[in-house]
Structures are given as structure tokens and as C-alpha cells.
Structure 1
Amino acid sequence: MNSSLGLNDYQLLASRSDRTRNKGNGFDLPVLGLVGEVGSLLSEVKKRQRDFAAIVGYKQTVLEELGDTLWYLAIIADHADIKLATLAGGGHGSDLAFSALQPQHTLPMNTPSAQFEKTLLRLTAATGELASTVDTSHGDKSLLQTRLAGVLNRLVQVANESDVLLEEAARANLQKTEDRWPQERVYPPLFDQDFPPDEQLPRTLEIDIYEREASNDKRYVLQSCRGLFIGDRLTDNIMEPDDYRFHDVFHYAYAAVLGWSPVTRALLKRKRKSKVRVDEGEDGGRAIQVEEGLATYVFGVAKEFEFFADQKPGDLSLTLLKNVRQFAKGYEVNASPLWLWEDAILQGNHAFRYLRDNRRGRIKLDVEKRSLSIEELPQ
């Protein structure tokens, strides 16, 4: 590991991903977040006690929950203009290394101990005291600092008893927030950049999508590219119509923004056959099923939120994006950052809303610019 991270350095880096400032009433939003994270930590321990199978991924989950808890604590202190190191007893204006908080290593914890449960409850109590302070004494900075210090002290105890280094949790938290809300957006290399041109996704492409009515009064969607029909006639395939027949636009968004879409490769006959393992493993039937399942999952969530009509980059649920990436685990696209997944989802839903309202449109893909747009399709 690099030289020990300082508490104040962490607080400064954490504040870059703060989306709670100037929202809500004073400290209310980050305090609610802190209470929620401590509750999640308690819930994880309860599951571990109830079900031994929950041991899988337990320590990683605790590491993440501790990191999130620390993030909210740092943000509350930042809003109050209090340095995080000050809460740990650091001198005025000076930083304090995370390593100074846990100078001794602890033995691995195989199961949550009774002492660990008590420490978690004390952390919960300290968080409750902080919440009551914020609720009743917004202007009492001295009392707020005391309560914040109490939470940090309990958090260090929890980290010790769960065999987690708080610095490791802090670094993992910074990595996660950068994955979601980066300071600079740098597009990763395209997955097919080293393949022959005829096996690459087309770098620019136009696809016409429009609805037709059959003789049985059923509506279906047709697609054409360069004058040729592609794909099948699509219907909603559900009891209550929801315009899912336009859903291929999501696959095109994945292709344009992520540079990944086994479905689009199959439609355009752009599978990477020069490498058998890639052809079968990344572009084959199973990968296509994964993408179709992913598109269905996101569609179901988006439908509950008017297909993200009011969402901007940075607004989508972190949980949704993590679930989406987990869905594609084992495939090359799993390496794509969360912010890029969000771009693909938002651009795809923008195009879907246009098609839902107009019943026809011309999709334009620009893979180099990671862009999918839609415009009016001439009659």
C-alpha cells in the first residue's frame, strides 16, 4: 500500500463527490445517509448470525459499509467546516494518518462476537446522539464536533473488531466514488479496437425504427439499416402493452456508448470470429441472453421512473448501476465504469421516450464519441 492516507486528505477527496450540499435542511441529508449506513452495517451482521451462508462476501460488504459510513461522517464535518483529523485528536490544522487510528492489527473475525454486536449498538447510539444534535442545535458547533468525534471513535472500534483497516475502507470508498462520479471522464479503450474492421462495431451508423399495424390490429416494430431490414418484427410480448417492442434502442445505446452489445453484433453480423474464444465467450448465445436480461431489468426499473425523464448524469441510483454491472459479471463490459453505464442507460431511455411519443425515429450511433442520438424519421 502507498504511504498512509491522511484523514483530512480523505475528507478533501470525499467532498468532491458530495451531492448533498445545498440540498435539504442543513446537515439533514448526510446525517440521514449516515444513519442509513450504520443500519445497513447492523443488518449485515444480523444476516451473518442468522445464515452461515451469508459468510460469502461478508468482509467485503463490511468494508464497503464502513467506507460509506466514513464518507458521510467526513461530509457532515466538511459542511460544518470541521477537519476530520480534528475529530480524532489531531492538532489544529494538522492532518493525522489513518494508520495512527489503528496502530495494532487484530485477529480475523470468523463470526460476529457479542462484543462486536455491543460496539455496533454503541455506534448506533452515537449516531442517534449526532442526529438529535443536528436536529436541535444546528448552531452549536462545539457540541456537533463532540458528537462527530464520538461517532468516529465508535467507528474505529467497529473496524478493529471486524478486522478491517479503516484506511482500506477509505481507499475503497474513494475508488467507488471515482468510478461513479469521476473528476475527469476518460473513456476506456473500445473492446474491439484491435480486431479487423469487418469485426468491429460500425463506428457510425443510422438505423430507422418505425411502427406498423398488422391485419389483426396488432402493432409491431420494424428496423432497417442501409435499406435492409434487420432483426425480427417486434411486439411487446406482455399482457399490458408497454412499448417494449422499441427496446432494441437500448442495445444500440450499449453498442454506441459502452462499445459492447452482443445483440447488436448478431444483428449486424459483426461477431469477432477471428478469435474463437471471443466469438463464443463474448459474442455468443449466452452473452446475448445476458444482454437481453439486462435490458429487461433496466426497462422494468425505468418504467417505474418515467424512463428517467428527469434524470441527469450523476442522478441514477448507485444500487441500480452496481446491479447492472454485476449482471454482466464475467464479460468484458464488466470493466466499464459505472458512469459510462449510466450514460448508456440515459441515452437509451432518451431515445426510447422519443420513440414512445412519436412511434418512429432515426437512430444515429457514433461509437467514437460514445453517443446515441435520435431524430425525426421522414415519412
Structure 2
Amino acid sequence: MASPTLTLHQYQTAASETDRTRTTKPTRFLLLGLFGEAGTLLDEVKKKQRDSGSYVGYEANVVEELGDVLWYLAVIASRMKLALSAIARPPEQSISSYATADNEIRFSDLQQQAHLPFAAPTSNFEITLLRLVAAIGALANAQQQSLPEGDEWGPYLREIFHILIQTANEAGVTLENAANENLTKIFDRWPEERHFPPLFDEASDIAEEKLPRHLEVEIYERTVARGPGIEKLYVLQRCSGILIGDRVTDNIMEPDDYRFHDVFHYSYAAVLGWSPVLRALFRLKRKSTPKIDEGEDGARAILIEEGVSTFIFAYAKQLNFFEGQHEGDLSFTLLKRVREFVSGYEPKHCPLWLWEKAILDGYAAFRFLQRHRKGRLILDLNNRSLSIKAI
């Protein structure tokens, strides 16, 4: 989606197509989002000033938040049937109609610098950000007073847009970069079309080092004697009639069924094509390539996968283990954090929508096991899916 000659019309069209709330939420919902993103931009400045050199990610976060502000601005303009290219015209130009689009105006036309040096926050930058928030507040106040739809929104949006340009200039960021990064992020999460990326071991010609494209595993509970009058409840796994893996308990003071958590590893394998845990369990480590064997299939990668599962589980417990959640519903922040967790490893290349599918498939199977205490997992790597049925 990234383009060095992105026009405002192209960006507004793409942004509007990703407005998933257009049939469910009123425009004031978008105003809240616009206000919130501007506030987050201010928060980035505060964190950078407070933590100085120890704050990591300031530049990337500023670019992302500028892109988010731009997205809300573009979508609000579209809701009002106004053209972003008209709103972007210089303040000295009079405008008869904000609905008249100029399809040729590019983001690069608004900032002539090919590359601006990124700058640490200054007092001027803070003042400009406060002006941005105030301008958004003025629009929100006008909307509360039943501002008619149409061109009367234009002057408010125009002021916000030009303050946004000044904000970008003072930060050393081009809006073109922010817009392209924003579209990349949006379509990483909500693509126009979904195409599965190649499996990580797709190109290998060593069958013994490839994850099986179809696999069925039984997971069930069993009470095991630990001594005279002492019994312990474990979860066991069986594949092709052979017991595999370790006996698992919840390993927590208050039981929460985490003993079934291996289902998440199977889901990562089935949907993402990634699971160092299962590679170790089924002895499918890629020994023929020592660097991959150590870096992608080794102990540290296994710990990363276990950490991802534990992190998501703690989040899912607060949301009834994602009961009723569908594709497109999971928290964007959660998915971003998960991918940050695996930075440096293969699944960092998996799009967010695929991570979401892996999580949802895994938790659908987990909830089935909670209810029935046993089930047969069916991994289908060719179709990137994990399903479960009764034993």
C-alpha cells in the first residue's frame, strides 16, 4: 500500500474503506477517536520528556499517532462528504465548496522536504500539539451544538489539518510517511483480501524437518494415582495411539484450566506455521540448517512461544476466553504486543489478521475442552486452521 506519490484523494478513499464503524457508530464516535489520538500524541511527548534517553520507540510512535490522527480526520471528512484535498488548501485560499476534490494533490506537495530530520520535542512542538487538541475540541463542541452536516464542517477540519501539517514539520516527520505507515498498519490488520503467506518450512526439501500438513491429536483429562489415597488430575495427549508430551497441570494456586494450554501451540502451528514447542515435541527441528535450528527452533524460541501463550491467556481470562469474539474483533493493541513479543523470530512476519485467526482458533478449541474435558484436535496447515471435535 505504501506509495512515494500518495495523493490525498487516494489516502482518503483507502481510509474510508476501512471505516468499520460507518454503519454502527455516529460521527461523534469518530470525534472521540480523533481527540483520543491527539491526546496520545501529547502523551508521547510527555513520556519522551520525562524519560529522556531511556524512552524507546518515540520516533515510530509519533509517526504512528500522526497517521492515526490523519485517518480519523480523513474518515470524518468522508462522513461529511468533504474532500481532504479541499481541506488541505492553503489558509489564504478561499473555498466555495469543501466537497470539490482535487485528485492530484499529493502529500509531498504539502511538505516540500524530501526528508525532515526527526526532532526531539521542543516547547514550540508542545504548544502546537495543544493547539491541535484545542482545534479538535472546538469541532467536538460545534458538533454537540448540532452543527449541520456538509460544508460547515470544512473550516474546522481545515484548521485541524493545517495544525497537523505544522505538527509534522516540527516533529521532523512527513505526513506522506505517516499516511503510508497508517495504510500499511490498517491493511496488516484488516486487509482487502486475505492471502496466506508461505509456511516457514515451505521451501525445505527435507520431509523430516517439516511440520505435518495434517495432524490429529487427542487431548483429555485423566486422574492418576500419586500414592496411597493420593490422586492428581492431569491432561494428557495422544497422537496415533502414542502418548506424547508431559502430563500437565494448571501450575497456579487457583485452577483456571491452563492445563489445556498446549492447544495454543497446536493453533500456532496450524495457522501461523510456527511452533518451536511442537518442533521439539515431534522432533522436527531443522537440524540441517544449524543457524535456524539454534535461532528459530532452540530453547529461547520455545520460551518465547510459552511466554506468548501465557501473556495472551492472562488477557483472555478477563474476556471470558474470547467467547463471542470473531475475526476483526480482537484488540489491535493486544495483537501488536504479541508481535512485539516475537520480534526477532519467524512469526514477526505474520500479518496481524493471521495472528488473530491463530488466537481465535486456539481459544475456540480451548473453550470446547473446558466444556467437554476432552477432544480431538485437527490441524490443517494447508488451509491454516485448527478445529476440534468430540472423541
Q: TM-score range by the shorter chain?
A: over 0.9
- Indicate the SS of the match to 1:231: strand
Q: Once the two structures are superposed, what CA deviation does each residue of 1:129-176 show, in whole Å capped at 9, x if it has no partner?
A: 111122222524333221111111110110010010001100000001
The answer to whether structure 1 residue 343 and structure 2 residue 336 are counterparts is no
Check whether the contact 1:133–1:143 (CA below 8 A) recurs between aligned residues.
no
- Name 2:71's counterpart in structure 1: 71
Q: Aligned equivalents of 1:271 and 1:137: distance in 2?
A: 63
Letter in 2 for 1:14: A
- Name 1:158's counterpart in structure 2: 167
- Name 1:61's counterpart in structure 2: 61
Q: Aligned equivalents of 1:250 and 1:67: distance in 2?
A: 33
Q: Aligned equivalents of 1:349 and 1:247: distance in 2?
A: 9
Q: Paired residues, what number? A: 376
- Name 1:235's counterpart in structure 2: 249
- Normalising by structure 2, report the TM-score: 0.93
Q: Once the two structures are superposed, what CA deviation does each residue of 1:244-275 show, in whole Å capped at 9, x if it has no partner?
A: 00000000000000000000111111111111
- Name 2:150's counterpart in structure 1: 141
Match of 1:93 among 101, 104, 125: 101
Q: 1:337 to 1:2 in 2, by over 3 A?
A: closer
- Name 1:186's counterpart in structure 2: 195
Letter in 2 for 1:341: W
Say what the alpha-carbon RMSD is for the aligned residues: 1.6
1:107 CA displacement: 5.8
Q: Aligned equivalents of 1:3 and 1:280: distance in 2?
A: 39
Q: Aligned equivalents of 1:120 and 1:250: distance in 2?
A: 43
- Indicate the SS of the match to 1:178: helix
- Name 2:309's counterpart in structure 1: 295
Q: Which ranges in structure 1 are unaligned for 5 or more consecutive residues?
A: none
- Name 1:114's counterpart in structure 2: 123
- Name 2:182's counterpart in structure 1: 173
The answer to whether structure 1 residue 213 and structure 2 residue 227 are counterparts is no
Letter in 1 for 2:145: T
Check whether the contact 2:120–2:171 (CA below 8 A) recurs between aligned residues.
no
Matches within 5 A, 1:33-72: 33-54=33-54, 56-72=56-72
Q: Which ranges in structure 2 are unaligned for 5 or more consecutive residues?
A: 90-94
- Name 1:129's counterpart in structure 2: 138
Q: Aligned equivalents of 1:55 and 1:210: distance in 2?
A: 46
Q: Percent identity?
A: 54
Check whether the contact 2:84–2:101 (CA below 8 A) recurs between aligned residues.
no
1:225 CA displacement: 0.2
Check whether the contact 1:159–1:166 (CA below 8 A) recurs between aligned residues.
yes
1:105 CA displacement: 6.3
Deviates more, 1:264-273 or 1:358-367: 264-273
- Normalising by structure 1, report the TM-score: 0.96
Q: 1:212 to 1:55 in 2, by over 3 A?
A: closer
Deviates more, 1:277-286 or 1:357-366: 277-286
Check whether the contact 1:260–1:333 (CA below 8 A) recurs between aligned residues.
yes
Q: Once the two structures are superposed, what CA deviation does each residue of 1:328-353 show, in whole Å capped at 9, x if it has no partner?
A: 01111111111100000000000000
- Indicate the SS of the match to 2:40: helix
